[in-house]
Amino acid sequence: MIDAVGFAAKNLDSSLERHEFQRDEPGEHDVVIDVMFCGVCHSDVHQVRNEWANTVYPCMPGHEAVGRVSRIGAAVTAFTVGDIVGVGCMVDSCRSCDPCQNGEENYCEGPNSWLATYNGPMIPKAKAPTGENMYGRDNTFGGYSNIVVVAEDYVLSIPDGLAPEAAAPILCAGVTTWSPLNHWGIGKGDKDKMHAQHQRNYRFFDAPVGLMFTLDRVMGRGSLVDYGMFMQNLMVAARGHGLHTCPQAAWNGFAKIILPHIGASDNEMLVCGMALGYADETALVNTFRTPRVAVSDFTTWLE
């Protein structure tokens, strides 16, 4: 075992405190990384505070880690000692389901889904169909530490021209933005493709029905929570009839044009638009599925 130290929260009310623990010795395909920098994501705050009702304590966050390779397993081929590398939000997956076999490990359909850099598997053994944890770890400790041990398949190369301290924060929000741009082939300065993608919003993503939601200005923004609940009910009802919906705030920037066009009065404000229709299940964007938590897991019914 490797002695390590980091900063972890003991419970949802505690601050991050020094926490000594041990990492596994590297396997033949593992990379040992001395952490140099780790970005701070708001997900870290959510997780530490147990705002998703699934936190495993002690909780050591950090999924934007950049560091230097200090050791490698005997079978590692992608990295050498001294390389500057990064680790994002996941450190393993089942590797055998269709998404994993097609380079989409973040949609892992294994019994425990993918293994997060911290807080263990996305589906813990208590909720897994097998009642087991294929990774053997109910908790994992993230990049708020001095060292991490990660399988080489889940380690990222950091280019020489990118400063490590600048690379760390883009391992979450940065790659989340880059990924769809890369998927749709939108390069830097490619305004035609960017405009074409934006225009899909204003065609309701080619849905047969487009809805516009307005609210009396007298009721004000204080009523938006209630309005949101109304919209959620509408979306649930539509789903019950086999329809799909997509709320779109992109319309709001053009409220002055849209409101007169739809016959709204001067006393109304535009809340959002919504696409309504039957989804094309063969479209790639509609094949993405993430683990869902059962309603019973986060709902308390009162008699």
Q: Tell me the pLDDT tens digit for each residue of 31-41.
A: 999 999 999 99
Question: For 90-146, how does the pLDDT look when each residue is reduced to its tens digit (9 = 90+)?
Answer: 999 999 999 999 988 988 999 999 999 999 999 999 889 899 999 998 999 999 999
Structure token pair of residue 218: 């007298």
Q: 176 and 252: one domain?
A: no
Structure token pair of residue 100: 């994993």
Q: 278 and 225: one domain?
A: yes
Kindly state whether residue 254 falls inside one of the protein's structural domains. yes
Counting the structural domains of the chain, the total is 2
Q: 50 and 104: one domain?
A: yes
Q: 59 and 133: one domain?
A: yes
Residue 233 half-sphere exposure toward CB, CA atoms < 13 A? 6
- At 21, which helix (H) or strand (E)? strand 17-23
**Is the preceding peptide bond at 58 cis, omega within 30 degrees of 0?**
yes
Stretch 151-172: mean pLDDT:
94
What is the C-alpha separation between 231 and 210, in angstroms, rounded?
14
Neighbours of 117 (CB within 10 A): 25
Tell me the whole-structure pTM to 2 decimals: 0.71
Q: 29 and 177: one domain?
A: yes
Domain housing 51:
2-183
Q: 139 and 255: one domain?
A: no
Question: For 229-253, how does the pLDDT look when each residue is reduced to its tens digit (9 = 90+)?
Answer: 899 999 999 989 999 999 988 888 8
Asked whether residue 292 carries a pLDDT value surpassing 70, the answer given is: no
Is 117:39 a contact under the CB 8 Å cutoff? Answer: no
Is 52:42 a contact under the CB 8 Å cutoff? Answer: no
Amino acid at 2: I
CATH code at 261?
A: 3.40.109.10
Question: 290 or 143: whose pLDDT is higher?
Answer: 143
Domain end (from 116, 150, 183):
183
At 303, the pLDDT band (50, 70, 90 cuts) reads confident
CATH code at 72?
A: 3.90.180.10
Q: 107 and 158: one domain?
A: yes
